[in-house]
Structure 1
Amino acid sequence: MADNSKTASEPRPPFSDWEAQAALQSRLEADLFAINKATLFDALVFTGVTTIIVTFDGYGDSGQIEDVEVKAGDDNIAMPGAMIAFAKTVWGQSEPERSTVTIATAVENLAYDVLERTHGGWENNDGAYGEVIFDVAKREITLDYNERYTASENYMHSF
């Protein structure tokens, strides 16, 4: 009787170039997300902002940020105009693209990043809506996500 079970010593097929690049990209994106998040929260503490609420909505293959609410305690305030360092990945490059952006741009980029990391395609078909909440005291970004879908129920009766 032949033993067809695999052993731990059998070689695995090598990663394709694309898989290796995708793994590198994922690691770099995670690292940059943490750095960009820390940079943003450091700036928000300095400006007195306590919370930012980004409202998004998407459907029919299109999605966008609908509103951005900036708070200092219970009071609505204007988005600070300060500039901060921000880094983005570029496919095929091991070094990020670095730039200086407004706090508003950094908030928008991180909000879209949170959506894509957790619910890629959130804007497709029936889409999704919700809020991305930046809590400065907790240094936390929370995604409140609502997915839409069309349901269909069929009943067939023969008598």
Structure 2
Amino acid sequence: MTIFDALITAGIVSLVVNFDGYGDSGQIESITAMGPDGEMALPEISIAYASPARADADDPVDRQPMPLAKAVETLCYDLLRQTHAGWENNDGAFGDFTFDVAARTIGLDHNDRYTAIESYAHQW
């Protein structure tokens, strides 16, 4: 069962995963599941999370059973590494992943933090 299959089976229509990072660390802050009637809990089920296997493996895909919530977190961390490696460094970044379950899509709203300095020197 995939993440989207598990969400559909549970009656979840959208999922928002909030992340925040700075100072060389970052974490998933919250996972909010929404059903047709409002917020609901993620089901406590396990799914087979698929990821690329080691180069010397017989099967190019490694499937590991893990709880749905951990699979969602793992996928979000993997997507952050692909799109914004180092998102947790220095001033860091924050944002949300939005899972549209019916469309089987994931959107990312990513915000980088940075310190800006404007310096001026004048001599006459």
| TM-score with structure 2 setting the length | 0.90
Q: Does residue 1:134 correspond to 2:99, yes or no?
A: yes
Larger of the two Rg values belongs to structure: 1
SS at match of 1:63: strand
Instruction: For structure 1, list consecutive stretches of 5 or more residues without a partner in the other structure.
Output: 1-37
User: Please, what is the CA RMSD of the aligned residues?
Assistant: 1.5
Paired amino acid for 1:112? Y
Instruction: For structure 2, list consecutive stretches of 5 or more residues without a partner in the other structure.
Output: none
Whether contact under 8 Å (1:60, 1:123) holds in the other structure is: yes
1:99 to 61, 64, 85: 64
Whether contact under 8 Å (1:114, 1:143) holds in the other structure is: no
Hey, what does 1:68 align to over in structure 2? 31
| CA–CA separation in structure 2 for the residues paired with 1:105 and 1:158 | 59
How far the C-alpha of 1:74 sits from its partner, in A, is 4.9
Higher RCO structure (Cα 8 Å, ≥6 apart): 2
How far the C-alpha of 1:107 sits from its partner, in A, is 0.6
| TM-score with structure 1 setting the length | 0.71
1:88-127 residue pairs with structure 2 within 5 A? Answer: 88-94=51-57, 95=59, 96-127=61-92
Q: Does residue 1:40 correspond to 2:3, yes or no?
A: yes
| CA–CA separation in structure 1 for the residues paired with 2:51 and 2:71 | 11
Whether contact under 8 Å (1:50, 1:71) holds in the other structure is: yes
How far the C-alpha of 1:90 sits from its partner, in A, is 4.1
SS at match of 2:2: helix
Hey, what does 1:80 align to over in structure 2? 43
| CA–CA separation in structure 1 for the residues paired with 2:14 and 2:67 | 17
Greater fraction of residues in helix: 1
